[in-house]
């Protein structure tokens, strides 16, 4: 990659990396990206990866079947710890989802060109993460087959859900989030589906992409309405994405459990979500650009920016941790103070320290450009942050429950095999969906890339 | 004569290489007094819609309707459930605990607006529409890749096969294709 | 022995149909009921006569025949004159059909059955075509409304009168009988749980001969042969071994039997009853007398290792009287004062105002010292603070001359009892705070000597026929007696017991014993009052009572218990000045036989302390091993009772196991550690060090458990566990302390060796954490503090004002159900926990699930120590754990008005009723467990798995039909016994009147011996609950959360002695 300015250029202003390496034409970007889907045969790497993730999905199915047969008792949960891995994973997955929407919506509104080449698979990631997250609220109930009670439907008994419960808010927030993300994604895909349709070689491809593209012709009228719809969607998705994790944080903030009952939760959950989300985007982007030689489209500029976002959100999260402690001692509420001490000295202290290490200390490396530009470091870092954010949810959900108001009822939590298998199973599902996605849909928004090419040529002219 | 032309010819299509060219072409065509013009581009070209005389879309309005509808439904549903049809003493909270009803109201507002925006956009674009005469032009496949097309439809009063073709060439159309109605 | 499980299983459900069929007689009112079912159900007993033909003979006749001849033979056989007898015995019902000329079809059916029977060793049953519960409604029964029948549960030297709730003939719940002196309307955990034993699927179901199924009549036939050779010697080889017998009828039967066999002997053995009391009275008065205490009259009570509030005869009544003296309604009320000296914390000790941990074997020394202080014996000095303590106590006792009471402990030797008698006499307490009566036991005997003699005789081969009526000597006899090997020398041994247990395995015959709810009997209460024990249901299986078994050897074999009972009472009723027929109905109705209460006697004290030989106390530093019956499974007889196994023991809060209890200091010196395990944790699983205990030349391996308040050098080995043959629930739980228990040291023993093996054992402990972390959960004060500031309970609780809320409060204009629990009265006895379990169909989850923190009790009893401990870990030593003040707090659902659980339920499965109940809607619950997370009191229970046993038919009979049986995946919790509220409401509305105070009694309230729980309408200013809530001691747990619980507590007040405070 060429960061060194050509002679004659002004040396004192260091030129930013391009969001698209020069020398591309409308045709070349189209070919290159579409080829991945249309012409390139699946690489052995892809086949192996897909096979592996598929196996893990089978583990998920087994775990779920056993769960339905025996009941949630196969997990480590008990009284007082009524929520364990299931809810931890739910919050974690939902959080990961957020980056996708954020990139495609907020960065779009802020007119950040660099989002273009990553928003497509970031959004895909969102959808898949939400899919994984959605599994948990359903299966964590004692009687999953009755979960539909949570929806307001005219039952013969004339009974309705209890709308004061944050769990109901979750139902609406998550389903809305899923739907809107899907629409947003589909709208973005529409022109590219048309491209694939027009370049499809086999009949099957033509039919499938033909149907999906709905007869998109790219006429000026289409584009005009398309753009206003896309802009509106972006404008709607932005408050939505913020609201979703706020609502998720209400699950805890609204309860009276010490360690849950804090006003800092909404902002700090959202920040955490973006934090883990960007980490996951990196985790996916880095291997993806390598595997399909998309370095020209996902450039160092992208990685660098995402690293910066991680650093920023990481600091907000750190602030959240600090405020929790501050409020405990400032309010001098005996339960909060006790909890704060528990975090540091209690039986689960090591989790807390691990969390601090992963979420606060390690990311400080990102202050250094060298680190931000070292792909390997970034990749490892992204994994560390994902782990850290998972630990954060564990600390919040489980540790707060182990020691609340009645010392006589204090208990502890130890996950069982089935807790782990279910969690890993959803990771498998997520990876498998990603693998499918890169094979059947353009991982990068082609139409938007063409715009980039256009703008680039304008720049060169000027 | 025009009539039967009108029957088998949808219009004439000029192929251009760059956004600038098609913008310029569209402007010219308007000046030449053509009414039924449409342009096809691989990506949104700024000003093109204006150039072919297509001022505004209905999408924002629909979105507003959807949003309002969703919001009202949201709060209405909760109020009706919790206060009117199924009132219960829940932990001593008032029946109309409106602050607790805000999240759902908000989510449904977004949901309504978003669905209306997308469906509205598709509907106004007459999508899905699997068949359209322009697809009969083999080169049209490039409209989704690297070529820009300007189509003057046969129903246009000023339309005349030879003349319009000449006109298109005059505005540096790379190629001119006949768009036939029949497959 | 051959595996009969398939047979017995099959029989068990047949037994159920049987039960349904004979439901009707069980429904008819008392006398007729029992009478009917007896002759309807077992006419064979009445029609038995010497028979020349038995099954053996039938089989004999059929042996070599086969095919065609077979049938011919059968027909020959059918002509056989004695076949009728056989048929009568085996097929009472078909005997009828047989008598009036039957068609061939029926005949073949019968024969087929009888052959099957002959082949399968006698497990034939009448066909079950006519299971028609009610063709016409029996009088006295309204379908859906339970009937209550009075009966009594014989237990040791006592019997607890109970009223048993019966739904369509199925006893489902046990309540106390207010008219009965040993109950006064309350019950104990064991009494409550006894109903589970009735329905226990592991019960022995038929008569067995060397493990093969036999019919009762086969036994009756064999009986003469058994007695044949003892007849010759006037019964020289004939021995009867019973437990403590308080049944006059049984005693009368046995005595008649002994008259028949002059040389025969009657032995008695109760592993968990000490001879001290009996021998003590002999020592003091020269004869056996029974002591009845009146703690209600005493202002100062000293207990010398007596757990009189929670165990021993009359403890329920004593607890009631004691609690009434802890009533504290205003600053003018006075409290009694309780001093307890004991080696290991007991329920009584935990409720003491002052408690002194002292080795059990130092108790005699202490008693002598006390006698010295009171000037009725030589002065004896005690070491350390004990001396000071004793001085103060002595002074206090003397100051209350005539109103004080000294109680000697159940497990103390005769001398301590004798001294106690002397001391009480000198304090002028006799006649006021205690009185003497004739012994309650029908035949008071020194159990140990009695068993020793028996063993000697068995060893010498003198015993030819041994009748073991109940009990389980192979398991619980002192191991130096080596009962097992001696039992093998007995020619014919017959064991009557509810389970096929350790002893049964070594006996030739095993007779399955009927439950007290299935059989007729009678029993004396601690004050001598007799109750008639009447059955509520005819036996579920082929079981017999000791009356039947004794009768089998009498001159009237096969005489049913009911007949024996009537026969005895026709004699016994005359002195009562009441003819049997006049009295019978009344006795059964009242549950007591009027006028049988013993009159006080004034035995002359023939004992003087100075005459005692000087005592050589064991060195203070020596470790003493103490044997005590387990607080839940007692001496092991309840080992197979899931409710009791899962019931947290009052102090240790252990379930499903016993453990060697050690003092914190001792644990520290031996470094016996506890490790809280991540799965379950403080509320579930604790691993504790395993120790080998070598004692009295034998060894046992046990888990050690550190118990704050235990005497430093005392190790307690609870009896009743380590059963090797008890059933699915009870087998191989805990360790068997009997293994190291010898006759010379039945209750306390020295010279043991304890060594840590290095491994650890997981114990299921429901509450490991013992201090309150300075939270306003259980508030306490001394009487002085209370008098200074009666509202002390509110000092630290910042209860938000009612008008603080922005929203307007819900109004509860009608009834407002509420509960007040007086912590000053609650003694932590656990009766409420089991009562709740029985009333509300609460499942047993098993040790593994308890260790995961998933036990299901709707009401739990929290135990807190007043001790400063940095680690909250009893295992890490600190001096404040040596003798901490202990407090109990029952925690049911608090029924909060601002219930945090309701607000977070997404489906509205837990909602508030108009009367302020926090209702659970099981059908609506989807099991998110959010409510439990948000419950500050953690009283909600979740069915993590399918805990409820849907399969076992017996358990179906037991369930309370008025309470939903919950299945997997739903949340449940205390409902304030809403089913009881609604029953009363229906009655009240039928009579168009408001519900009266005290009309609704929740299960926990009903069971509570100390009247600590009061339930009622808080809106009615005159209701007991409203009055309680008006008291200044009244407070709610964690009031600052503003959850506004309907369950409130009256703070505990201890009446400390200022002088000891200074020390």
Mean pLDDT of chain C: 86
Give the nearest partner residue to B92 out of C810, C908, C913, using CB atoms: C810
How many Å lie between the alpha carbon of A146 and the closest alpha carbon of chain C? 6
Q: What are phi and psi of A263, to 5 degrees?
A: -80, -15
* pLDDT at residue B32 is higher than 60: yes
**Cα dist. C757→C692, C735, C749 in Å?**
6, 15, 22
CA–CA gap between residue A40 and residue A43 (Å, rounded) = 8
Nearest to C807 among B86, B88, B94 (CB): B94
Which of C108, C471, C210 lies closest to C218 in space, CA to CA?
Answer: C210
Cα separations in angstroms, C1033 against C561, C646, C822, C980: 53, 33, 9, 28
Tell me if chain B has a CB within 8 Å of the CB of A207.
no
Mean pLDDT of B63-86: 95
DSSP C938-1004: ---EE-SS--S--S-HHHHHHS-TTS----TT-EE---S-HHHHHHHHHHHHHTTSPPPTTT---HH
SS3 C861: strand
Q: What is the pLDDT of residue A361?
A: 94
Return all residues near C756 (Cβ < 8 A) that are at least 6 apart.
C670, C671, C672, C689, C690, C691, C692, C704
CB contact under 8 A, A78 and C683: yes
Identify the closest residue of chain A to C927 by CA–CA distance: A142
Whole-angstrom CA distances from C936 to A337, C322, C795, C917 are 17, 33, 21, 17
- The pLDDT of residue A23 is above 90: no
Cα–Cα–Cα angle for A364, A367, A371, rounded to 5 degrees: 95
| Least confident residue range of A304-308, C107-111, C723-727, C902-906 | C107-111
ipTM confidence score: 0.91
Angle between helices A265-291 and A300-331 (to 10 degrees): 160
Poorest-confidence range of A111-125, C166-180, C250-264?
A111-125
Confidence (pLDDT) at A58: 96
Instruction: Please tell me whether residue C916 adopts helix, strand or coil conformation.
Output: coil
Chains that touch A (3 or more CB pairs under 8 A): B, C
C627-679 confidence digits (pLDDT tens): 999 999 999 999 999 999 999 999 999 999 999 999 999 998 988 888 888 88
Would the CB atoms of A214 and B122 count as touching at under 8 Å? yes
| Of C28 and C101, more confident | C101
pLDDT for res B77: 95
Q: Which residue has the higher pLDDT, C992 or C72?
A: C992
Q: What is the mean pLDDT of residues C980-988?
A: 94
Name the band, by pLDDT with cuts 50, 70 and 90, for residue C82. low
**HSE toward the beta carbon, residue C38, CA cutoff 13 A:** 26
Could you tell me the pLDDT band of residue C126, with boundaries at 50, 70 and 90? very low
- Contact between B176 and A226 under an 8 Å Cβ cutoff? The reply is no
For chain A, domain boundaries: 22-143+161-189+239-456
Mutation target for A interface from B71, B101, B102, B114: give the one with most A CBs within 10 A. Answer: B114
Interface B-C: count of C-beta contacts within 8 A: 35
Is residue C1037 within 8 Å of C894, Cβ to Cβ?
yes
C680: CB partners within 8 A, 6+ apart? A78, A411, A412, C764, C850, C851, C852, C853
The answer to whether residues C23 and C168 touch, using CB atoms and an 8 Å cutoff, is: yes
> What is d(CA A84, CA A365) in angstroms, rounded to the nearest whole number?
32
In this predicted structure, what is the pLDDT of residue B157?
86
Contact indicator for C51, C163 with CB cutoff of 8 Å: no
Q: Which of C679, C905, C941 is nearest residue A162 as measured by Cβ atoms?
A: C905
Are A195 and A446 contacting, i.e. CB atoms less than 8 angstroms apart? yes
Residues A134/A174, Cβ–Cβ less than 8 Å: yes
Q: Is B99 touching C (CB cutoff 8 A)?
A: no
> How would residue C58 be classed by pLDDT, with cut points 50, 70 and 90?
low
Work out the pLDDT band at C14, boundaries 50, 70, 90.
very low
pLDDT for residue A291 is more than 90: no
Candidate from C808, C912, C914 with C-beta closest to B90: C912
* Residues 26-85 in B contacting A (C-alpha not used; CB under 8 Å): 26, 38-45, 48-49, 51-52, 54, 57-60, 63, 67, 74, 77-78, 81-82, 85
Contacts of A188 in chain B (CB under 8 A): none
**Cα torsion angle, C768, C774, C779, C780, sign:** positive
CA distances A200 to A25, A187, A208, A319, C477, Å, are 20, 20, 10, 51, 91
Give the mean pLDDT of A206-214: 92
Q: What is the nearest CA distance from B91 to chain C, expressed in angstroms?
A: 4
- pLDDT at C138 > cutoff 80: no
Residue B91 near chain C (CB below 8 Å): yes
Tell me, letter by letter, the H, E, C secondary structure of C191-255.
HHHHHHHHCCCCCCCCEEECCEEECHHHHHHHHHHHHHHHHHCCCCCEEEEECCCCCHHHHHHHH
Q: Residue A36: pLDDT band by 50, 70, 90 thresholds?
A: confident
Which of A163, A266, A269, A448 to probe by mutation at the B interface, max B CB count within 10 Å? Answer: A163
Most A CBs within 10 A among B104, B144, B148, hence the mutation to make, goes to B144
What percent of chain B is predicted at pLDDT more than 90? Answer: 44
Q: pLDDT band at residue C615, thresholds of 50, 70 and 90?
A: confident
Q: Which two tokens stand for residue C301?
A: 């009570």
Residue with the bigger pLDDT between C492 and C99: it is C492
Arithmetic mean of pLDDT, C1016-1032: 94
* Per-residue model confidence (pLDDT) at position C296: 93
Which CATH number is A22-143+161-189+239-456's, of 2.40.400.10, 1.20.1630.10, 1.20.140.10, 3.40.50.300? 1.20.1630.10
Contacts of A94 (CB under 8 A, 6+ apart): A129, A130, A133, A174, A177, A244, A245, A248, A273
* pLDDT given at position C24: 33
The model carries a pTM of 0.88
Joined tokens for residue C773: 């972390």
């Amino acid at each position: 990659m060429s960061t060194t300015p050509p002679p004659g250029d002004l040396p004192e202003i260091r030129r930013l990396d391009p969001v698209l390496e020069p020398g591309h034409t409308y045709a070349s970007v189209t070919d290159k990206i579409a080829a991945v889907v249309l012409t390139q045969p699946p690489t052995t790497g892809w086949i192996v990866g897909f096979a592996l993730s598929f196996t893990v999905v089978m583990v998920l199915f087994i775990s779920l079947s056993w769960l339905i047969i025996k009941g949630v008792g196969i997990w480590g949960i008990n009284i007082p710890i009524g929520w364990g891995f299931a809810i931890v994973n739910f919050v974690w997955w939902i959080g990961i989802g957020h980056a996708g929407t954020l990139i495609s919506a907020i960065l779009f509104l802020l007119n950040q060109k660099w989002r273009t080449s990553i928003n497509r698979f970031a959004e895909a990631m969102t959808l898949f993460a939400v899919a994984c997250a959605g599994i948990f609220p359903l299966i964590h109930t004692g009687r999953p087959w009755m979960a539909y009670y949570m929806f307001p439907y005219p039952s013969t008994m004339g009974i309705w859900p209890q709308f004061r419960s944050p769990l109901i808010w979750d139902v609406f927030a998550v389903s809305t989030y899923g739907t809107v993300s899907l629409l947003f994604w589909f709208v973005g895909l529409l022109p590219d589906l048309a491209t694939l349709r027009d370049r499809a070689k086999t009949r099957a491809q033509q039919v499938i992409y033909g149907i999906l593209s709905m007869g998109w012709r790219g006429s000026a009228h289409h584009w005009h309405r398309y753009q206003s719809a896309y802009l509106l969607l972006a404008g709607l998705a932005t408050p939505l994405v913020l609201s979703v994790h706020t609502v998720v944080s209400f699950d805890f903030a609204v309860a009276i459990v010490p360690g849950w009952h804090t006003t800092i939760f909404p902002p700090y959950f959202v920040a955490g979500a973006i934090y883990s989300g960007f980490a996951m985007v990196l985790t996916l982007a880095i291997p993806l650009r390598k595997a399909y030689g998309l370095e020209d489209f996902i450039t160092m500029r992208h990685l660098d920016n995402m690293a910066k976002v991680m650093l920023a959100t990481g600091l907000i999260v750190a602030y959240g941790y600090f405020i929790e402690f501050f409020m405990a001692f400032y309010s001098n509420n005996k339960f909060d103070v006790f909890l704060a001490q528990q975090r540091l000295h209690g039986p689960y202290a090591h989790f807390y320290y691990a969390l601090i290490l992963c979420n606060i200390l390690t990311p400080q490396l990102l202050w250094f450009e060298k680190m931000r530009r070292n792909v390997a470091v970034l990749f490892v870092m992204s994994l560390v942050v994902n782990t850290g954010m998972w630990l954060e949810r564990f600390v919040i959900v489980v540790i707060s429950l182990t020691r609340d108001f009645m010392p006589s009822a204090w208990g502890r939590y130890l996950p069982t095999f089935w807790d782990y298998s279910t969690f890993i199973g959803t990771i498998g599902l997520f990876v498998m969906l990603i693998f499918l996605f890169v094979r059947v849909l353009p991982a990068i928004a082609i139409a938007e890339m063409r715009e980039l090419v256009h703008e680039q040529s304008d720049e060169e002219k000027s | 004569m025009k009539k039967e032309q009108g029957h088998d010819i949808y219009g004439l299509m000029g192929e251009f290489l760059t956004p600038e060219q098609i913008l310029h072409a569209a402007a010219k065509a308007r000046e030449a007094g053509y009414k039924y013009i449409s342009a096809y581009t691989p990506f949104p070209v700024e000003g093109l819609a204006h150039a072919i005389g297509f001022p505004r879309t209905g999408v924002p309005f629909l979105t507003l309707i959807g949003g309002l509808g969703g919001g009202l439904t949201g709060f209405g549903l909760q109020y009706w459930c919790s206060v009117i049809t199924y009132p219960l003493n829940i932990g001593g909270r008032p029946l109309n605990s409106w602050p607790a009803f805000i999240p759902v109201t908000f989510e449904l507002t977004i949901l309504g607006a978003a669905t209306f925006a997308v469906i509205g956009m598709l509907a106004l674009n007459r999508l899905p529409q699997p068949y359209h005469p322009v697809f009969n032009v083999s080169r049209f496949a490039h409209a989704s890749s690297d070529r820009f097309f300007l189509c003057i439809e046969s129903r246009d009063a000023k339309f005349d096969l030879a003349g319009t073709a000449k006109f298109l060439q005059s505005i540096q159309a790379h190629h001119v294709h006949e768009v036939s109605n029949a497959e | 022995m051959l595996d009969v499980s398939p047979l017995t299983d099959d029989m068990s459900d047949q037994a159920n149909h049987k039960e349904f069929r004979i439901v009707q007689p069980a429904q008819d009112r008392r006398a007729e009921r029992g009478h009917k079912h007896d002759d309807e159900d077992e006419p064979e007993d009445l029609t038995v006569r010497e028979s020349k033909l038995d099954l053996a003979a039938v089989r004999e006749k059929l042996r070599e025949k086969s095919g065609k001849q077979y049938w011919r033979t059968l027909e020959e056989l059918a002509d056989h004159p004695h076949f009728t007898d056989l048929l009568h015995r085996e097929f009472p019902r078909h005997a009828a059909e047989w008598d009036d000329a039957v068609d061939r079809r029926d005949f073949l059916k019968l024969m087929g059955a009888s052959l099957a029977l002959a082949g399968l060793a006698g497990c034939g049953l009448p066909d079950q075509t006519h299971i028609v519960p009610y063709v016409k409604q029996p009088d006295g029964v309204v379908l859906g409304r339970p009937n209550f029948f009075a009966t009594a549960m014989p237990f040791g030297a006592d019997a607890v009168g109970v009223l048993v709730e019966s739904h369509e003939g199925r006893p489902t719940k046990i309540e106390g009988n207010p008219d009965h002196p040993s109950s006064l309307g309350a019950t104990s955990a064991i009494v409550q749980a006894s109903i589970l034993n009735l329905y226990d699927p592991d019960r022995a179901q038929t008569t067995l001969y060397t493990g093969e199924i036999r019919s009762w009549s086969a036994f009756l036939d064999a009986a003469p042969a058994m007695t044949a050779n003892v007849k010759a010697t006037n019964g020289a080889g004939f021995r009867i071994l019973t437990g403590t017998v308080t049944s006059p009828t049984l005693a009368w039967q046995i005595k008649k039997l002994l008259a028949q066999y002059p040389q025969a002997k009657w032995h008695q053995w109760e592993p968990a009853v000490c001879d001290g009391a009996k021998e003590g009275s002999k020592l003091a008065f020269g004869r056996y007398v029974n002591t009845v205490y009146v703690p209600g009259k005493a202002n100062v009570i000293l207990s010398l290792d007596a757990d009189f509030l929670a165990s021993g005869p009359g403890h329920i009544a004593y607890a009631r009287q004691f609690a009434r003296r802890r009533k504290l309604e205003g600053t003018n009320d006075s409290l009694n004062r309780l001093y307890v000296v004991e080696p290991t914390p007991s329920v009584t000790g935990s409720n003491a105002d002052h408690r002194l941990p002292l080795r059990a074997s130092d108790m005699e020394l202490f008693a002598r010292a006390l006698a010295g202080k009171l000037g009725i014996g030589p002065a004896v000095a005690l070491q350390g603070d004990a001396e000071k303590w004793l001085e103060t106590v002595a002074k206090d006792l003397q100051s209350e001359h005539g109103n004080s009471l000294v109680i000697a402990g159940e497990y103390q030797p005769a001398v301590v009892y004798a001294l106690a008698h002397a001391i009480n006499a000198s304090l002028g307490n006799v006649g006021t705070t205690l009185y003497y009566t004739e012994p309650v036991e029908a035949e008071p005997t020194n159990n140990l000597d009695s068993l020793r003699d028996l063993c000697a005789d068995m060893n010498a081969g003198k015993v030819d026929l041994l009748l073991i009526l109940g009990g389980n000597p192979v398991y619980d006899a002192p191991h130096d007696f080596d009962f097992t090997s001696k039992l093998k020398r007995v020619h014919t041994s017959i064991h009557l017991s509810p389970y096929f247990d350790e002893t049964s395995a070594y006996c030739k015959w095993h007779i399955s014993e009927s439950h007290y709810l299935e059989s007729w009997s009678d029993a004396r209460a601690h004050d001598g009052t007799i109750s008639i024990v009447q059955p509520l249901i005819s036996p579920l299986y082929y079981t017999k009572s000791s009356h039947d078994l004794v009768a089998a050897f009498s001159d009237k074999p096969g005489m049913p218990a009911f007949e024996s009972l009537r026969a005895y009472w026709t004699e016994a009723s005359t002195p009562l000045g009441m003819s049997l027929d006049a009295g019978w109905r009344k006795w059964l109705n009242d549950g007591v036989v009027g006028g049988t209460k013993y009159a006080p006697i004034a035995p002359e004290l023939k004992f003087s302390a100075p005459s005692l030989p000087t005592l050589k106390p064991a060195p203070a530093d020596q470790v003493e091993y103490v044997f005590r019956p387990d607080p839940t499974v007692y001496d092991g007889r309840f080992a197979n009772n899931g409710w009791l196994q899962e019931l947290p023991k009052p102090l240790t809060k252990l379930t499903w196991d016993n453990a060697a209890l050690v003092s914190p200091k001792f644990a520290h010196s031996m470094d016996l550690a506890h490790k809280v395990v991540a799965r379950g944790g403080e509320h579930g699983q604790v691993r504790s060090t395993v120790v080998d205990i070598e004692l009295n030349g034998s060894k046992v391996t046990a888990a050690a458990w550190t118990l704050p308040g235990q005497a430093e050098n005392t190790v307690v080995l609870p009896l009743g566990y380590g059963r090797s043959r008890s059933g699915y629930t009870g087998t191989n739980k805990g360790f068997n302390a009997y293994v190291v228990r010898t006759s010379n040291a039945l209750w306390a023993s020295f010279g043991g060796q304890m060594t840590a093996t290095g491994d650890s054992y997981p114990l299921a402990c429901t509450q490991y954490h013992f201090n309150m972390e300075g939270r306003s959960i259980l508030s306490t004060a001394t009487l002085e503090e209370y008098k200074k500031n009666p509202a002390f309970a509110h000092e630290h609780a910042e209860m938000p004002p009612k008008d603080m809320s922005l929203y307007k409060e819900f109004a509860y204009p009608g009834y407002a159900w509420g509960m007040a629990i007086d912590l000053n009265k609650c003694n932590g006895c656990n009766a409420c926990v089991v009562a709740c379990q029985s009333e509300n169909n609460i499942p047993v989850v098993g040790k593994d699930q308890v260790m995961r923190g998933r036990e299901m009790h709707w009401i739990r009893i929290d135990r807190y120590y007043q001790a400063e401990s940095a680690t909250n870990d009893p295992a890490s030593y600190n001096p404040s754990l040596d003798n901490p003040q202990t407090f109990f707090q029952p925690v049911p659902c608090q029924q909060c008005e601002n219930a945090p659980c309701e607000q977070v339920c997404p489906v509205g499965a837990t909602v508030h009723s108009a009367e302020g109940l926090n209702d659970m809607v099981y059908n609506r619950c989807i099991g998110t467990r959010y409510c439990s997370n948000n419950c500050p009191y953690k009283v909600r229970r979740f069915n993590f798995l399918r805990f409820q046993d849907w399969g076992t038919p017996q358990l179906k009979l037991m369930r309370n039909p008025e309470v939903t049986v919950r299945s997997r995946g739903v949340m449940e919790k205390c409902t304030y016994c809403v089913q009881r509220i609604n029953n009363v409401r229906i009655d009240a509305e039928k009579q168009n009147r408001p519900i009266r105070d005290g009309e609704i009694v929740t299960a926990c309230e009903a069971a509570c011996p100390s009247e600590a729980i009061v339930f009622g309408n808080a809106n009615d200013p005159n209701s007991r609950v409203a009055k309680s809530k008006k008291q200044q001691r009244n407070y709610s747990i964690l009031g600052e959360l503003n959850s506004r619980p309907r369950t409130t507590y009256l703070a505990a007040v201890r009446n400390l002695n200022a002088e000891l405070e200074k020390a």
